[in-house]
Structure formats: C-alpha cells, structure tokens
Amino acid sequence: MALIIPHKFRFLPDSFKNQEFNLLDVGAGSHSATKTQSIFPKCNYYGIDITKEYENDENDFKAMKGFYQMDLTKLQFDEIPDSFFDVIIMSHIIEHLFNGDMVIEGLVKKLKKGGKIYIEYPGEKSTKLPSMKRTLNFYDDPTHVRIYSVPEISKVLENNNFTILKKGTRRYWPYIVLLPITIVTEFIKYKFIPGGVFWDLMGFAEFLYAEKK
C-alpha cells in the first residue's frame, strides 16, 4: 500500500486493508481503476461515468469488474445491483450535478448494510478563494453547477439510515507538509502551478464519510 494514499481512501484501510471488497467509484476517469487497485489489490472495482473516454485506457478497463455508462442526473440506476457494494466513492462529482442530493439517495441503495460512503465536493468557502488555473475558486470550473454543504449532505445521509463517521473541511496534513515539493514538481510537469495543489491549505473541499446502518 502506498505510503500516502489519496484522502478519499484514507479511512478505508481500517475496514478493508487486507480483504476483498466491492467498490463503486462514481466518476471513473483519470485511470482511477488502475490507481485504486494499486492501493487495494483485493478491491473489486466497479465504475460509473457518463463516458468511457475520460483518461482511461485498455489497462484501466481490464482492472474493472464492471463499468456503468450513464448520465447520473437521470436517476436511472436499475442496472446497478442493490445491497451489493461495500464502499461507494463520490469524489468531486455532486458539484457537477444540479440534483446531486437525489443522486446520492439513489446510489446509497446499492450499499450493503455496514457499507461505507465517501463524498467530497468544493465547499461554500471555495467561492471566496482566488482564481487559479486548474481550479482554486468554485467558479474556475464552468461545469460546476451547484454548491453543497456538510449540513445538507449530512441530512440526506441521515434520512437514508446512515451514521456520519467523519465530516468537515478537507485539510489532509500529508498534502500540506509536502506542499513545497508538490509546487516544484507540478511546475516542472505543467509549467504552471495547478490550483488543486492548494486545496488542503486553503480549505477548498468538504467531505463526509458515513456508514449504512
């Protein structure tokens, strides 16, 4: 397992470190299947996305147990089995959806009892941050359509029989400690510093981690 895992996975090793589990990744681009299995080799990875073309290749699809190509806003989730998944990840998805709360309500039916869900999105504070290339302010990304909050998403989950385990502003200390190195390496790679480098320092994102009762 990687020394520093992405924040969206930081709570999972406690429950799934050395065991097989079914994971539904809502937003399965950017080689996510391959990256996820490099951290959790026993993970059965299933992905959802509106397209297969978002930075995935043949190896990524080989790493998937299943892929559901769908428009989440239509709320048509019948092809996804109910009470099947141990984990659902929704990292930076709902801000792109006008009905993200309803999408969450539809997808939580797919979790087993005791299953975990992780949700992350730009918080209201992100609307007041400086503008940067690759998004530091909410409005830097023209595909962002709605601002959500911890109380709002907490209510959605609690109304669907979940216990909130962790919630708040994402400030992941490994990312903050490594910030000077990250700035240099990202500048060498892109010839500019992406706004996402500063998310944890500036409190760009909020998250919730919850368990189905």
pLDDT tens profile 123-174: 999 999 999 999 999 999 999 999 999 999 999 999 999 999 999 999 999 9
State mean pLDDT over 105-121: 98
Q: Would you state the pLDDT for residue 1? A: 43
**Domain residue spans of the chain:** 7-173+202-212
- Nearest one of 207, 212, 211, 213 to 10, comparing CA atoms: 207
Amino acid in position 15: S
- Nearest one of 101, 116, 104 to 210, comparing CA atoms: 116
State mean pLDDT over 19-34: 95
- What is the DSSP track for 166-179? EEEE---HHHHHTH
pLDDT tens profile 57-85: 999 999 999 999 999 999 999 999 999 99
User: Is residue 45 within 8 Å of 25, Cβ to Cβ?
Assistant: yes
7-173+202-212 maps to which CATH number? Answer: 3.40.50.150
50's tokens: 């509106």
State mean pLDDT over 176-200: 97
